Structure 1
Amino acid sequence: MLRDEGDAARDRVLAFYLRLASAADDRLRWLPGRPEPDRFADRAHALAWLDAERTGLVAAAQWAQEERLAQTAARLGECLMEYLDWRRYFDDWIAVAATALEAMRLTGSPVDEGNAWNSFGLVLRKVGRPQEAIDAHVRARDLHQASEDPHREAIAWGNLGLSMQAAGRLPEAIDAHARACNLFQITQDRTQEGTAWSNLGVALWELGHTEESIDALVLARDLHRATGDRIREGNAWNNLGLALLKADRTDEAIEAWGNALDIFRENENWYGAGKSLHNLALAHTVAQSPAYARTCWLQAADAYIRGNASDQAELARARAEALTASATPSDTPTPASPPGRTTDSSQPSPPPPDAPDTAEQ
């Protein structure tokens, strides 16, 4: 009797969490022009609920190891993926994804198993395990190909490309992203197509094909703007800035990162804001404007702290301190008023961007 009551209580908790987590996930993924989610008024409310319930949600998602609860708990885990990525709670994501994968390998359909491999591959790349991520996305791709599901196959190709980039296998990454672009065109998913073009642009940039990279990133930006996806538009602007800087178009790069920074701040994406400020600091260094660079480094450190990225914050502060001696104490410029271009063509090597993931819809 007590066991039955305990099982019934857990069923109620899991159903409650799944219902609200699904609504919160819908709000986080919502785009203008689509029906408004009912439960949460805006992203801030959805994030606040997820933050308050994170411990319980992560624990409940790991009930997927029990066969009776596997499907429901695994669905809960899928609903948490966007949130855990946004907040950079990668340890929680690994725990949830690994449990869901094991459950779906035993009890799920090929589509469910493919989705689970995809989620696991995403977080493996995030924590610096690219070869394992490649293996996971190959499994996901093969399962979705066998299921004749071109949309999910496209997602797997895109994420495989990101993992190959992380492993330094750039020609293969470019091929994978191109396949994702083609499949998303076939399935008429303009949002994911924009993400695929952005990822392709980054891979081309890393390989030194700068003009082709700029073309791909402009197309990505325009697709995301057309679909009203402000967050992915911000990522495309950020990536475009890197390509423009490499093309020695520093003023345009500064403008691109300023646009990205506005979007990231608007959506409280503090890690993204930190990246844009980081890149603005590099651009101002190229333009021989150390005071502006120092201001950007300091602002980047603050944004990284808010984005749960303490290592990047420490690096940004160290670079600001290195410029302190050459900065004028009374001069406190802001990124909104960049200086003129100089003729110095020596460019620091910008870090690779954290390209947007092609997540499940």
Structure 2
Amino acid sequence: LCLAEYLDWRRYFDDWITVSDVAREAAHRAGDRSGEAMAWNNLGLSLREAGRMEEAVEAQTRARDLYQATGDSLGEVMAWNNLGLALEQIGRVEEAVEAHIRARDLHQTTGDRRREAMAWNNLGIALQKVGRVEEAVEAHIRARDLHQATGDRHREAMAWNNLGIALELAGRVEEAITSYDKAAQLHQEAANWYRAGETLGNLARAHEAAHRPADARAAWLQAADSYTQAGATEEAAAAQADANATDTAPPPPTLT
């Protein structure tokens, strides 16, 4: 179970699935329902990252039900959060919004500000997908502020990135550029190079939308460098190609 965060950051998703499944089976055989719930949760996360969304929904539902059965309210709300993320990925976005609201409300009840911030961020993503953009902006601002207050720089960076996307959707491109720039700085400080590459790509697209090709090219080159440091050679090559063609229509930004 303790390997989950490392395998996530290093993007070893197949290993993460294998390790989580072994943990789930071991906990089940030992009659450790709490450990089994945690393993189901990690399995759901790893399946989602690997693109196996239907299986991820099933795993997160199993985790939620086990957490409920064992009276683990903290685990339950975490599973609600992750279930919402998986539901988004298979197009069940209205259900995802409700799941994230449930998670947010439970975190507020327990006073867990760090996880409440995560729920606000995830809720903002779901609200973006159903077209409730102004609500999404407010949700990401709440997430950012709570992550700042709790000192979680990694997730603060993710909230800045997603706030930038919501601001772009609201037509507030200059504010979006500021948000992306802040997110990229935080990811670089943490040496989270893959996330830095994603955010710098978003920054480049925002500069393109603002008709600043020189700034866009500079951001694409930084993105290529970040991806290279992350060992993501395909993404690095794509960013380098975009740096050489900044006048083409940019793809949509990347949520984190």
Q: TM-score, normalised by structure 2?
A: 0.95
1:29-68, aligned counterparts within 5 Å?
A: none
Q: Secondary structure at the match of 2:245?
A: helix
Provide the residue aligned with 1:48 in structure 2. Answer: none
User: What is the CA–CA distance in structure 2 between the aligned matches of 1:164 and 1:351, rounded to whole Å?
Assistant: 20
Letter in structure 2 aligned against 1:215: E
Residue 238 of structure 2, aligned match among 290, 295, 315: 315
- The structure where helix makes up a greater share of residues is 2
Q: CA deviation at 1:275?
A: 1.4
Cα pair 2:34 2:70 within 8 Å, conserved: yes
Letter in structure 2 aligned against 1:273: A
Provide the residue aligned with 2:98 in structure 1. Answer: 175
Cα pair 1:217 1:240 within 8 Å, conserved: yes
Q: CA deviation at 1:102?
A: 1.7
Provide the residue aligned with 1:351 in structure 2. Answer: 253
Cα pair 1:88 1:308 within 8 Å, conserved: no
User: What is the CA–CA distance in structure 2 between the aligned matches of 1:349 and 1:310, rounded to whole Å?
Assistant: 19
User: What is the CA–CA distance in structure 2 between the aligned matches of 1:322 and 1:348, rounded to whole Å?
Assistant: 10
Provide the residue aligned with 1:80 in structure 2. Answer: 3
Is 2:33 aligned against 1:131? no
User: What is the CA–CA distance in structure 1 between the aligned matches of 2:253 and 2:200, rounded to whole Å?
Assistant: 13
User: What is the CA–CA distance in structure 2 between the aligned matches of 1:261 and 1:87, rounded to whole Å?
Assistant: 18
Q: CA deviation at 1:135?
A: 0.2
1:301-332 deviation line (CA, Å, top 9, x unaligned): 11122223333223212212223xx6xxxxxx
User: What is the CA–CA distance in structure 2 between the aligned matches of 1:277 and 1:125, rounded to whole Å?
Assistant: 24
1:83-111 deviation line (CA, Å, top 9, x unaligned): 11111121221221121112122224221
Provide the residue aligned with 1:8 in structure 2. Answer: none
Residue 146 of structure 2, aligned match among 220, 223, 226: 223
Q: Secondary structure at the match of 1:176?
A: helix
Letter in structure 2 aligned against 1:274: G
User: What is the CA–CA distance in structure 2 between the aligned matches of 1:162 and 1:311, rounded to whole Å?
Assistant: 26
Q: Secondary structure at the match of 1:168?
A: coil
Q: CA deviation at 1:187?
A: 1.6
User: What is the CA–CA distance in structure 2 between the aligned matches of 1:140 and 1:256, rounded to whole Å?
Assistant: 34
* Closer/same/farther in 2, CA of residues 165 and 352 from structure 1, 3 Å limit: farther
Provide the residue aligned with 2:132 in structure 1. Answer: 209
Provide the residue aligned with 2:26 in structure 1. Answer: 103
Q: Secondary structure at the match of 1:164?
A: helix
Letter in structure 2 aligned against 1:319: D
Question: For structure 1, which segment, 234-243 or 265-274, has the greater mean C-alpha deviation from structure 2 after superposition?
Answer: 265-274
User: What is the CA–CA distance in structure 2 between the aligned matches of 1:227 and 1:319, rounded to whole Å?
Assistant: 37
User: What is the CA–CA distance in structure 2 between the aligned matches of 1:246 and 1:307, rounded to whole Å?
Assistant: 29
Residue 72 of structure 2, aligned match among 146, 149, 152: 149
User: What is the CA–CA distance in structure 2 between the aligned matches of 1:258 and 1:351, rounded to whole Å?
Assistant: 14
1:184-263, aligned counterparts within 5 Å?
A: 184-263=107-186
Residue 205 of structure 2, aligned match among 282, 286, 290: 282
Q: Secondary structure at the match of 1:353?
A: coil
User: What is the CA–CA distance in structure 2 between the aligned matches of 1:295 and 1:352, rounded to whole Å?
Assistant: 18
Letter in structure 1 aligned against 2:253: P
Taking every aligned residue pair, what percent have the same amino acid on both sides? 52
User: What is the CA–CA distance in structure 2 between the aligned matches of 1:184 and 1:114, rounded to whole Å?
Assistant: 19
User: What is the CA–CA distance in structure 2 between the aligned matches of 1:317 and 1:131, rounded to whole Å?
Assistant: 34
User: What is the CA–CA distance in structure 2 between the aligned matches of 1:274 and 1:352, rounded to whole Å?
Assistant: 10
User: What is the CA–CA distance in structure 2 between the aligned matches of 1:249 and 1:108, rounded to whole Å?
Assistant: 53
Q: Secondary structure at the match of 1:148?
A: coil
CA RMSD of aligned residues (A): 1.6
Q: Secondary structure at the match of 2:244?
A: helix
User: What is the CA–CA distance in structure 2 between the aligned matches of 1:260 and 1:149, rounded to whole Å?
Assistant: 33
Question: For structure 1, which segment, 114-123 or 262-271, has the greater mean C-alpha deviation from structure 2 after superposition?
Answer: 262-271
* Closer/same/farther in 2, CA of residues 352 and 164 from structure 1, 3 Å limit: farther
User: What is the CA–CA distance in structure 2 between the aligned matches of 1:308 and 1:80, rounded to whole Å?
Assistant: 20
User: What is the CA–CA distance in structure 1 between the aligned matches of 2:31 and 2:240, rounded to whole Å?
Assistant: 47
1:160-212 deviation line (CA, Å, top 9, x unaligned): 01111111211011111111101111121100100010010011112211000
Is 2:205 aligned against 1:270? no
Provide the residue aligned with 1:119 in structure 2. Answer: 42
User: What is the CA–CA distance in structure 1 between the aligned matches of 2:43 and 2:233, rounded to whole Å?
Assistant: 24
Cα pair 1:242 1:350 within 8 Å, conserved: no
Question: For structure 1, which segment, 311-320 or 283-292, has the greater mean C-alpha deviation from structure 2 after superposition?
Answer: 311-320
Give the paired residue count: 256
Letter in structure 1 aligned against 2:86: S
Q: CA deviation at 1:348?
A: 5.1
Q: CA deviation at 1:293?
A: 1.2
Q: Which ranges of structure 2 fall in alignment gaps of 5 or more residues?
A: none
